[in-house]
Structure formats: structure tokens, C-alpha cells
Amino acid sequence: MDWSKKPGMVITMKKLSSLFHNISFRQRVVLITCLSLFVPTLILGASLLHNLRLGKTNEIIAQNQAALSNNAEKIRELYVKNIDRMVYIANNTQILSILRDERAKDLSMIWDEYHILVSILDALEVYDNQNDITIYTLNKSLYTNRYIADAGELDAGVKEKLLEAEYPAPYWRYDWGDGGGAPMIYLYRKLMYVNKPMAFVEIKIPFDKILNCLEPELPESGFIAYQTEAAGRYVYTAGKPDDGYGNLLDNYTNTGVDAGYYTLTESLGINGDKLLYFLPAGSVNTELRSVFTPIILTVTSLSVLLLAICAILISKALTGRLEKLLLKTNRDVEQYIINNRTDTMVSGNDEFAVIEKRYNELVKRVSGYYQEINNLEMDLLQASVNPHFLYNALGALKWYSEDEKFNEVIDGLINYYRTVLNRGERVIPLKMELDCLAQYLGVQKFVYKCGFSYSITAEEQISGYTVPKNLLLPVAENAFQHGIRPNGGNGRIDISCGESQGKLIIQIRDDGPGMDEQTLGNLLTGQGGTFYKGYGMVNVRKRLIAFYGREASIGVDSSPGRGTTVKLVLPIC
């Protein structure tokens, strides 16, 4: 994703970054620790919650499965009771005797047999509180009554299946009320005599009795389906089933998919029928929410509290040493520096101990610099006294001497030292710097009684440009010492100043013997035994870098017999 195309997101990230950089280090540690602990805690909590949810879901399903099993057991008991009634009829000798008898009996015997049959079957119906027993006889000589009917009244298809059914296995038939009647389950069994069927017993079980066995309180949109193995049909319970349930059942039958439901199955075992309980996943989730919402809130609150405590403790452990060091830096550091005193006892070998040791070393070094500064300050104070003494001494010499030339030199020295030592500025105009050079060269001619000549030229418009004070003196002194003195004090020094391409160009040239490459290298690096090893050209180069940076440069062109030219290129100030 290209975040640059989402200005709102970019602004938010910038605000968060700015906020993060504006908080303290300890707050950053707390925040990072919380985030570091939050991610694994969230993953662990999600995993535990998933396992708890799965366990609770299985528990809810198990509870509903147990309720469904109890319902199925009641239906099985209903079926077993009716099968027992059928077995009783099939094994009752009186009933079998009546069904075998021919019609060649007097009326009183037939009446007595009728009463015997009715009393037995009445007792069975009273026991079950239903009128549901019918015996379809194949004996044409029997009279029909409330319990006995001719087998011809039986549906031909049912009669054919009963004749084909294995004895004594029962036969189940289902009528779902498609013709307008109440749904009914029929239970049949053949009655045999000398390996020949003589009648069929029919017991009708209204489907309402099955529904009465289903006790669970069904959630909204939940339902139970009764599936028959023989008829391949469903009977729906859960209020009044609609087409949506029918479509869901058809889809489950065809694909086995029950989207949005947990399907619980319980077989009845006797006739191969089974119960299907479609438990809505939404109702399970509602129950889970009612259970887990307070747990999640409690655990979340405790987790946040524990995370905060852990983050604070960890941050304190990590930043305690740093805070101690910061506390030390907030003390009177000046007293540490003045007295050259530090806490030398540093415990531990961790990173904070290293920082504290480095801090103590820094304080020691700064203390040393402080002492050096004090010494320099004393020297400067002393230097502020020396020029006055020097001026007074030079003035006394001037009044003592009547030599005009000597007095001119004395005046030059006074002016020179007044400019170099007593003004205090770091930079001076170029014209003043050139005047100092002229006075210096004049003194050299007088002192050494030399016959050399010199010239100083500068364009009028650049005379007001400023340069570091006393910058050119080491270069001019180098020209005198290496160019003029080796020639017995004869020769020439030319100093020219100009402007080119926005730069100030200063060249100091002598016509002395020049230098070979080794001597030139020693001059530029401060090595060898040259007079300028401590203060000469190297000092000039360092001052240029300190004052101008890389914008200034100095170059020396020299070779034996050609003299020496020093070129300085300075920014215009």
C-alpha cells in the first residue's frame, strides 16, 4: 500500500512520531515495554480464549446432546411399550383361538368370544389410554367388530408388504397427513398359524405422542427433525416450520451442510429412525457472550494493570542507573570541575556503568581544560600588563636616542605592537595587516642591516576587507628567513593583494634560493628542523581552517633557484 497517497494517514504518523520523540526516555521505555508485552499477551490471551470458547461450546453442545438423548429414550420407551402390546396379542392363546375358529358356532359362543376379545383389547387400550388397536383377519368366517376387521379393508400395498415381511419382525408405516389427516405412525405384525398368516395386528401411534416426548426449550430459529429410514421423510418440530426449514433440511440431506447450525443426531435404534437437532450457532454465541463478556472484561483489566506494573518496573530497572547519572549531572558540576573531584566508585560492568565511567573521565578532562584556561587567563592578564611596560620602555629609548633612523624604528615597533597586542580584535582590515607587514620588514632591514627591498600593493577596493589578525606575518617572516637571509640580506619580497571570482587573493613572493621537495614538505607539515616548526606555515593553515573552514586555502610554489611564492585564497569578509 502506498501511504503517500493517504494524506490523513501520513499526518497521523507524523503526529505520533512527534509525540513519541517529545516524551521522556523512561516514558518511551514504558511505552515500548507495554507494546512488547502486549503483543505476546494478546496472542496468548486469544489462544486461551479460543480454547475456553471451544471448551464451553463443546459443553453447550454436550448438554443439548444429553437432552436430545433423553428425548430419544422416551420415544424408544413409547415404541417398546407398543411392541410389547403387539407381542402380548400375538402370544395370547385366547385371541389366537378366536381368530382360528370357524363360524359354525352358536350365537352364544360367538358372543362370549367377542366379550373375551373386547375385554382383553380394552384392557390394552386403557393401559395406554388410546384407541389404536386393529386386527385384520384373513379368516372370512369371523364376525368383524370394533377391534376385528377384514383384511380386505387393509391397503393392498401394505397387505402385500406384510405378507412378504419376515416373521416375527414388525413392519413400520408412516402417514405424514398429506391427505389432511393427523400424522400417524403404524406398527404391524403378522399372526401365524401352522406357518401361515391368519391375521395382521395394527397399532396406531399418533405423531403427537412423539412430539410430547420432545421437551427441550428450542431457541429462536432452532428446530428438531424426525428422520425415518424407511420413508425417507422428515417431520419438523419447533412451532410451525416454514419453507426455510424445509429448504435447510433438503440441503442437509443432499449435501450434509448445515450452515449456521450445530447438528446433533440421536438414533432411536428400534426402527432405524433418528432425531436431528438443529441448534443455531447464533444462540450458542449469545450464551457464550453472556458467559465470557464479564470474564474478558475482568481479565483485560487485570492484564492491563499487570502490563502497566511490569512496564513500570522494567523501565525503572533499565533507567534507574541512567536517572542516577542524570541526577549527578544536575548537581553543581562546576564544583566538580573546579575541585577536580568525581565519584570514582562505579559499580557494575553494564552499559550504564560504562557511561558513568566515561562521564567521570569527561569531567576530569574538562577539569584539566579548566586549569589550562585558568593558566591562559593568567597569561592574558599578564600580557595585558606587558605591552604597557613595552610601550613605556620603547618610548624611553626613543627619547634617550638622538639617532633619527633609530627613532623611526622605535616608532614602527610601537605602532606594530599597539596593533597586534593591544587592540583585542580577532580580525582587522587588510590595510592594517599590510601596514604591520611593512613595519615588520622595516625593522628587519634596520636590525640586520640588509639591502633587500620589498613592495606591498593592494587594490583600493579590497583594502577594507577583513582578515584574521597577524595572519600574514608568519608567511612574510618565512620569506625573509628562507629567501633573504641565505642571500646575505639581499633580494626582494613582493606582496600583492587582489580580488578574483569573489575571493581575496594574497601572494607573498621572494627571489631567494627556493626549496627542494623535502624542505618544502617539512615546511608544510611542521616537521624537520625548520624555524617555523612550531608557529609557521602549519599554524597559518590551522588558523585558516579554524576561521574559514574549507573555503580558504594556502599553497606554496618553490623549487631550487626559482624563489618561493605563497598564495592564500580567502573568502571575502
What is the band of 532 on the pLDDT scale with cuts at 50, 70, 90? very low
**Are 275 and 133 within one domain?**
yes
Answer whether residue 392 is part of any domain: no
171-175, 262-266, 400-404, 456-460: least confident range: 400-404
pLDDT value of position 515: 85
Task: Write the pLDDT tens digit of every residue in 254-273.
Answer: 666 667 788 888 998 888 88
32-46, 80-94, 146-160, 491-505: least confident range: 32-46
What is the band of 346 on the pLDDT scale with cuts at 50, 70, 90? low
Q: Do you know the residue count of the chain?
A: 573
Answer whether residue 140 is part of any domain: yes
Q: Note down the domain range covering 509.
A: 432-571
Domain end residue (candidates: 282, 298, 326): 326
Residue 191 is inside which H or E element, if any?
A: strand 184-193
**Are 320 and 439 within one domain?**
no
387 preceded by cis ω (within 30°)?
no
Residue 79: which CATH number? 3.30.450.20
Answer whether residue 53 is part of any domain: yes
142-156, 214-228, 317-331, 487-501: least confident range: 317-331
Q: How far apart are CA 184 and CA 343, in angstroms?
A: 101
Residue 502: which CATH number? 3.30.565.10
Which one-letter amino acid corresponds to residue 190?
K
Domain end residue (candidates: 298, 326, 354): 326
Interval 274-280 mean pLDDT? 85
**Are 159 and 28 within one domain?**
yes
**C-alpha dist (Å) from residue 547 to 51, 103, 419, 469, 528:** 73, 146, 20, 11, 27
Concatenated DSSP letters of 541-560: HHHHHHHHGGG-EEEEEE-T
Q: Which comes out higher in pLDDT, residue 230 or 143?
A: 143
Q: Which of 541, 539, 506, 537 is nearest to 434 (CA)?
A: 506
- List strand residue ranges (DSSP E) for 376-473, in order: 427-429, 453-458, 466-468
Answer whether residue 518 is part of any domain: yes
Q: Residue 200: helix, strand or coil by DSSP? A: strand
Residue 114 is inside which H or E element, if any?
A: helix 107-128
Answer whether residue 45 is part of any domain: yes
**Are 248 and 116 within one domain?**
yes
**C-alpha dist (Å) from residue 354 to 75, 348, 361, 381, 539:** 84, 9, 10, 40, 37
Q: Residue 38: helix, strand or coil by DSSP? A: helix
Q: Which comes out higher in pLDDT, residue 134 or 338?
A: 134
Q: How far apart are CA 354 and CA 351, in angstroms?
A: 5
Does 309 score more than 90 pLDDT? no
Interval 280-301 mean pLDDT? 83
Domain end residue (candidates: 326, 348, 380): 326
The tally of domains found in the chain comes to: 2
Answer whether residue 450 is part of any domain: yes
Does 385 score more than 50 pLDDT? no
Interval 228-237 mean pLDDT? 63
Task: Write the pLDDT tens digit of every residue in 404-436.
Answer: 667 677 777 777 666 666 555 778 899 988 988
The pTM of the full predicted model, rounded to 2 decimals, is: 0.52
Answer whether residue 481 is part of any domain: yes
pLDDT value of position 509: 94
Answer whether residue 557 is part of any domain: yes
